[in-house]
Structure 1
């Protein structure tokens, strides 16, 4: 549903900005809802505390595009919520989106997929993964502010391991929503509840159920053997990063690599960059099939080869058992930006 409709929501949000984005002057503060609607951005009539406000915050065209993409993700999520019964949309998904507009690339990520730019051998991260570990403090803050979401079954605090009944009254390391480090606290009865965020790495889970913290859908997802909904802890809003293509002269070997977690689980940024160099160097710069070959090489490299003990990488580690999807977008040379 997201793959068929999300880009339409983004297009509709951007359509409203066409005239504003083509105007080099700062965006207007207000737009009339209908032609002829009266209104004024003149703050001279304000009195009281409002008179201390600045006349207008600085808003850039770039921030309007970012806001349009963020709105589109929210509208997509709301549509999934509204239509989940009639269309049997029960699950959820991550989303990684690239928008090229007016010389800039906008990369929006909600989930654990990731994107990097490989430019002349240099690696430029264009997104980050959203997991229970990377968003621990946001999740804990929500659990602290709205304890009813924890249902008396979970604690928003994190401990290095599961607290046992025999440890009541003892002091144990912990951290809460305000802490990046660790401190000691006296273990109390409520600390025996299951932690909101548990596990490490790929095994980290929210409420012992899901391993990603941003994405679309999952409106019906419940904690296993419980009626507690998990959706309040899952954000549909993406993080949007911007790359200005006009600030650098790109060559045909400069690419934007998009990959699902199946790629990044077993392949580092440096290994991806090395594959980019190895594969593209074997093709002529104007051969369009070079980018398809690069995507195939990255997928096959992450999957590994079948051996006696399963699919293995050259270093004999297990290949990725997850979905591996890769897109390659050229940033320079013939056919770029089309």
Structure 2
């Protein structure tokens, strides 16, 4: 598991960056992504930086020289944006007549979202191309946050989670991508490309494993185009192992992996077979946007990023309660108060060692997974510290 907070800067637009990577089947993909994804993001943002600078009212600290005491986690973006399609200025020879040419109005927010999506794709492609040369093992989930021009962009591929706690209110900033949440996408892909199943799996879902004695009988099922359940007559193909099997944290794609988005996993196969699982795993993140300038934020309003080791045992409400209890009891001038709050969350999720193992509140089982947590303050509208 790798955590990253960027601390590079140059002349241009200020951009803050945080990231969490939770590796599986080896640490290689997580290590590489933690070092290089930020550069792919910067490269993509540099293509649009002039558009963003020239079309937005920016805070004084976002343009030109950085003031003293610039936060250590800031990155600035430079380089003129180019319209790769080659469209010229109005009246130029390359500009088609108006009646033959219309252009969509693209919100700046969508340009940033597209830059993040493209960066994740490029990072995954680099891992694929270099995995043998550099022995890049396994895969990883990726949760990235950038603060750009007064907005937070949270990009998530995997089962880590981000939430904002503002005046005690919980604002979810990500979704978890698991075999259950992405059932319809996975089933549709298998339906369209049945060869990916290797003649060993069925794309249909049943409440339980179908047995041979049930041939010819009716059983509940659902397909990619269904949210509900219906009956079908069981056939020979239905006896194959289901594409998605199990429920909750035990749900797996092809009985192998429990997350459906992330980076890497290009060599992952079903056990004792030549069936690759990567076609079902997407590197595309979901990106959510939070406009910092729309709200007044106090010193105890925070953005929390954490891997599934925390969320497996603590709910959003429990985390929010812990934060709202912990931060007010800290010295407001203590520069480590947010780090201490993150440590407190880790300890709450791990629990206390008792006779029957690690236990948390109400004698529940503590987390046995890796846990990484960021607690990031949201302060003074469009400034993050």
TM-score scaled to structure 1, two decimals? 0.93
Kept after mapping to 1: 8 A contact 2:179/2:258: yes
Deviation at 1:285, TM superposition (A): 2.6
- Matching of residue 300 in structure 1 with residue 331 in structure 2: no
C-alpha separation in 1, matches of 2:169 and 2:97: 48
Question: Structure 1 residue aligned with 2:119, among 42, 67, 72?
Answer: 72
Partner of 1:19: 50
For each residue in 1:79-138, what CA deviation from the matched residue of structure 2 results, as whole angstroms up to 9, or x when unmatched?
Answer: 000000011112000000000000000000000000000000000000010000000000
Aligned 8 A contact 1:252 1:334 in 2: no
**In 1, Cα distance between the equivalents of 2:54 and 2:236?**
61
Residues 20 and 45 from structure 1, CA distance in 2 versus in 1: closer, same or farther, beyond 3 angstroms? same
Say whether residues 1:289 and 2:339 are aligned partners.
no
Task: In structure 2, list runs of 5 or more residues that go unmatched.
Answer: 1-31, 57-80
1:242 aligns with 2:297: no
Equivalent of 1:2 in 20, 30, 33: 33
CA shift in 2, pair 1:100/1:187, >3 Å: same
Report the RMSD for the aligned CA atoms in angstroms: 2.1
Tell me which residue corresponds to 2:7: none
Aligned-partner Cα distance in 2 for 1:57–1:32: 14
Match of 1:85 in 2: 132
Deviation at 1:336, TM superposition (A): 4.6
Where does residue 52 of structure 1 map in the other structure?
none
1:165 paired to 2:220:
no
| Residues in 1 aligned to 2:339 and 2:375: alpha-carbon distance in whole angstroms | 7
CA contact (8 A) 2:297 2:381 kept: no
Q: Distance in 1 between matches of 2:121 and 2:162?
A: 21
The answer to whether the Cα contact below 8 Å between 2:292 and 2:382 also exists between their aligned partners in 1 is no
Aligned to 1:50: none
SS in 1 for 2:224: coil
Correspondence for 2:192 among 145, 149, 152: 145
Describe the shift of the 1:139–1:62 C-alpha distance in structure 2 as closer, same or farther (beyond 3 A). same
> Would you say the 8 A contact 1:112–1:260 is kept in 2?
yes
Query: Relative to total residues, which structure has the larger strand share, 1 or 2?
Result: 2
Other-structure match for 2:95: 40
Structure 1 residue 23: deviation in Å?
2.4
Task: Tell me if the contact between 1:155 and 1:195 (Cα under 8 Å) persists in the aligned partners.
Answer: yes
Contact 2:152 2:289 in 1 (8 A): yes
Query: Which residue of 170, 175, 182 maps to 2:222?
Result: 175
Give the corresponding residue for 1:309.
356
State yes or no: 1:156 paired with 2:187.
no
3-state SS of paired residue (1:331): strand
Displacement, 1:334? 11
Are residues 303 and 41 of structure 1, via their aligned partners in 2, closer, same or farther at CA, if it must alter by over 3 Å? Answer: farther
Cα distance, 1:41 vs. partner? 5.4
Q: Are positions 1:188 and 2:235 aligned together?
A: yes
1:224 to 247, 257, 271: 271
3-state SS in 2 of match to 1:94? strand
Matched, 1:337 2:376: no
Greater shift in the superposed pair: 149-158 or 16-25: 16-25
Distance of 2:205 and 2:128 partners within structure 1: 31
Report if the CA contact (8 A) 1:305-1:312 is conserved.
yes
What count of residue pairs does the alignment treat as equivalent?
328
Counterpart contact for 2:158–2:177, Cα < 8 Å: yes
Q: Any gaps of 5 or more consecutive residues in structure 1?
A: 47-54
Q: Whole-Å Cα distance in 2 between the matches of residues 221 and 118 of structure 1? A: 37
**CA contact under 8 A between 2:87 and 2:95: conserved in structure 1?**
no
Q: Report the Cα distance in structure 1 between the residues aligned to 2:97 and 2:259, rounded to whole angstroms.
A: 45
